[in-house]
Structure 1
């Protein structure tokens, strides 16, 4: 396994290739945590945040055993420690994926098409992947190349091929640890987070070895920007790229 490291303000292109959904991605561990990540978001939007419309997706939090309804409330109202909904969007709405199947696409699809960004909260990545498929949203995303997906923790991991058994909590009916596979690398979030003492580089290396595929370990000051099949690390913190 080859390990490549990054440092403050480092940027690197690697792990090229989207595998089906040609949209713009900003995959973060801890939200829009610093000016570099915020600049990357504005670049993806192609306009100031104050001129952009966003929908936030709290769904993943309901599937995680550590989360309660208060987590979703704090995320939606911008009271979460991770900055996403409190960036000064032109408009902000809530898109709850579990509600979409009962509404019908004619009702909710125009909301998504009118948005510039989807903000996906953390929680359980497998639960989020399940409801992205069940709701029909994942299929719609294939038709919206200019839409920006902004992920937070599980909201980022959902776009990867696998999360690894270490991150399995809620178990989908099909079993396994497969997520959407939009990108061809996996993500280990919250590297060296003081509130998550098990999220060490040593444990990230063990996790990556079990995947046998490209994988990033990123801290909360790091994000991965993906456009037109190219992945770029945006960081004011620490990250590692593991390759088989």
Structure 2
């Protein structure tokens, strides 16, 4: 399976071109399923999920003009026969993992059986991640939280770290957890975005120091394309690679 891990979706021509290259055909000839699951733990999650699914979110993904687009809600899958949803996943050209809480997403990828299914999908199918959806694609990831996360299988470990923000120093909980294992690196999205002070360059360096694999810090104009295990940065903005 191929991957396109983005900070904020298909935000520019270079990232769009990388998506088309991975699909091997135009978006208009490709079938996709969008996974909104990661957004539900956030306040206002249902509304944000609707905007993502309907293509009305600021980050372009669902509204790219897909040949067909369906919804894959992971929390529903354990109560459904696999024969009802697995063939649909196998037929999809792209799986679109929306942003949100990567620990919650990784938990439901495992509980639903999707994590085990991913390695068996077509080699030319594409995992497209946005923010938390990109974070969850790695084998081991670290995410920041203000409070211990709930509704998950639990972290591998956690520690408190002081981050610097425009409002002053704040304490964050850095949680290490298991992802889908689709790639052998990690992602820190929204590098130097004013609305994501945890991901300033200074904080990203502290964050990446706790991650046991190479880590790409990506701004919203950057992504990582992966084919046959080889990663390539696609960017019209800023990015940084941290080594463990």
TM-score by length of 1: 0.86
Q: Secondary structure at the match of 1:142?
A: helix
Structure 1: state its 5+ residue gaps.
1-22
Structure 1 runs of 4+ with >6 Å offset: none
Q: How does 1:226-237 map to 2 (within 5 A)?
A: 226-237=226-237
Q: Secondary structure at the match of 1:211?
A: coil
Q: Does 1:107 align with 2:76?
A: no
Q: Kindly provide the CA deviation profile for residues 146-165 of structure 1, in whole angstroms up to 9, marking residues without a partner as x.
A: 21010000110001133325
Q: Does 1:134 align with 2:111?
A: yes
Give the number of aligned pairs. 221
Q: Does 1:85 align with 2:62?
A: yes
Q: What displacement does 1:113 show? A: 1.4
How many angstroms apart in 1 are the aligned matches of 2:233 and 2:32? 23
Q: Secondary structure at the match of 1:166?
A: strand
Q: Secondary structure at the match of 1:27?
A: strand
Q: Does 1:151 align with 2:129?
A: yes
Q: Secondary structure at the match of 2:78?
A: helix
How many angstroms apart in 1 are the aligned matches of 2:214 and 2:151? 24
How many angstroms apart in 2 are the aligned matches of 1:98 and 1:160? 20
Return closer, same or farther for 1:213/1:110 CA change in 2, 3 Å cut-off: closer
How many angstroms apart in 2 are the aligned matches of 1:82 and 1:101? 29
Q: How does 1:158-237 map to 2 (within 5 A)?
A: 158-167=136-145, 169-170=149-150, 172-176=152-156, 177-237=177-237
Contact 1:59 1:128 in 2 (8 A): yes
How many angstroms apart in 2 are the aligned matches of 1:197 and 1:175? 23
TM-score by length of 2: 0.86
How many angstroms apart in 2 are the aligned matches of 1:67 and 1:218? 25
Q: Does 1:120 align with 2:115?
A: no
How many angstroms apart in 1 are the aligned matches of 2:153 and 2:107? 9
The structure richer in strand per residue is 2
Contact 2:139 2:179 in 1 (8 A): yes
Contact 1:117 1:150 in 2 (8 A): yes
How many angstroms apart in 2 are the aligned matches of 1:171 and 1:135? 14
How many angstroms apart in 2 are the aligned matches of 1:32 and 1:202? 26
Q: Kindly provide the CA deviation profile for residues 171-196 of structure 1, in whole angstroms up to 9, marking residues without a partner as x.
A: 63343222222212111110111222
Q: Does 1:61 align with 2:39?
A: yes
Contact 2:7 2:189 in 1 (8 A): yes
Contact 1:124 1:170 in 2 (8 A): no
Higher relative contact order (CA 8 A, sep 6+): 1
Q: Secondary structure at the match of 2:14?
A: helix
How many angstroms apart in 1 are the aligned matches of 2:229 and 2:207? 25
Return closer, same or farther for 1:154/1:67 CA change in 2, 3 Å cut-off: farther
Contact 2:102 2:143 in 1 (8 A): no
